[in-house]
A = this chain, B = another copy of it.
Amino acid sequence: MNHLRVTIREVAAKAGVSHQTVSRVINESERVSPDTRQRVQAAIAELGYQPNAIARSMARGSTRTLACIAPNLTDYTYASIIDGAETEARRHGYFLISVSARDPADFNVLVEQLIASQRTEGLLALNPYIDDRSQHLPAGVPTVIVGARARDERSHSVSLDEANAGRMATQYLISMGHRRIAHLTGPLEEDCSQDRQAGYQQALEAAGIAFDPTLVMEGDWSATSGHHAVECLLEDGADFTAIFAQNDRIAVGAIRALREAGLQVPGQVSVVGFDDMPLASYFDPPLTTLRQDIFCIGCEAARLLIQAIQQPGRPPQHMRLPVELIVRGSSAKANSEQGGDRNPQFN
């Protein structure tokens, strides 16, 4: 096997044309006679010629590659967004380089290596921290923020309608007769956690229920943090008949802790999660949760980014996708004899 790759000029020589004509053929230009095209294509096939993508990027000044920076690549949410974005990108002839940034410093290094180096033409920033002093988005490069609010005048964004989602979950629990609703959040430095909490408070307010900050516990999205939050709540003698958890893993951890304390779900405490992760319906009890079309978020983000690349002057777009409440077994009507002033752990 010939290790030296065949170039456009060798094809040209073989076909008896100039290298430019070969270029026209591989770029599907109309300005080539059918006969010439035929000969060039034959030469290409015979030599097994493949255009060199880097040389094309160089000559065109366009790499047809996007960058995606996420906190990690394994969380189902991030992985799904990336999968959606990758699929959509490829439909448009783009590739996606996905990297995980463990911290803001890492994020900045990656922006430099991927964007400033012009290796990629646009950036998908998944769930960046809101503190813009620690993470620097590149100026002058198309950027789509996913899962958080845009933080400047240039960036586009795609996210859920988080506040509305928070309201929906809370309203649902209120409609089931719950008035003491604990709230287990993700890291409050993340936009989505803040927005979901805002929705939670709005729903309480709308129902005339006083917001009780002692019922709010911050977590880190892990089941362990949900478990711990409920332990703390119970230790403090908190009084609640329902829990709204900001993701399904927190919900699952919370349910475990409730069980360990001898509380029944949903008999004594109802639990609502968020995400509708793949096995949400296989937990015991099956999780009531807010479903987001996470693959779609990734697709839309990639679509927006490619539009931004191809139409530079375009004003920033901000997409908000809806969520859907999926009612399963982890939530139920509040027990009427179980008053809001009795601590459920003593039932």
Contacts and interface: CB of A to CB of B under 8 A. Distances in A.
Contact of A282 (B55, B86, B87, B253): B253
Interface string A1-12: 101010000000
B55 A112 contact: no
A1 B139 CA distance: 8
A139 B50 CA distance: 14
Contact of A95 (B55, B76, B97): B97
Contacts of A57: 54
Interface string A61-105: 001010000001110100110110011001000011111100000
Contact of A52 (B55, B100, B117, B139): B117
Interface string A114-130: 10111100000000000
Contacts of A249: 278-279
A257 to B, nearest CB: 11
A58 B50 contact: no
B119 A53 contact: yes
B79 A74 contact: yes
Contacts of A83: 72-74, 100
Contact of A86 (B51, B65, B98): B98
Contact of A100 (B87, B97, B279): B87
A141 to B, nearest CB: 10
Interface string A268-284: 00000000001100111
A74 B58 CA distance: 33
A252 interface: yes
Contacts of A1: 139-140
B118 A53 contact: yes
Contacts of A279: 223, 249, 252, 279
23 contacts: A1-B140, A3-B140, A50-B117, A51-B117, A53-B117, A54-B57, A54-B63, A54-B119, A55-B58, A65-B97, A73-B73, A79-B79, A83-B100, A95-B99, A95-B114, A96-B98, A223-B279, A223-B282, A249-B278, A249-B279, A252-B279, A252-B282, A283-B283
Name the 10 nearest CB pairs between A and B, nearest first: A284-B284, A53-B117, A53-B119, A73-B83, A50-B116, A79-B79, A74-B79, A252-B282, A58-B58, A54-B57
Given A50-B116, A72-B83, A76-B76, 6 more contacts: A1-B140, A65-B97, A74-B83, A95-B119, A252-B279, A256-B282
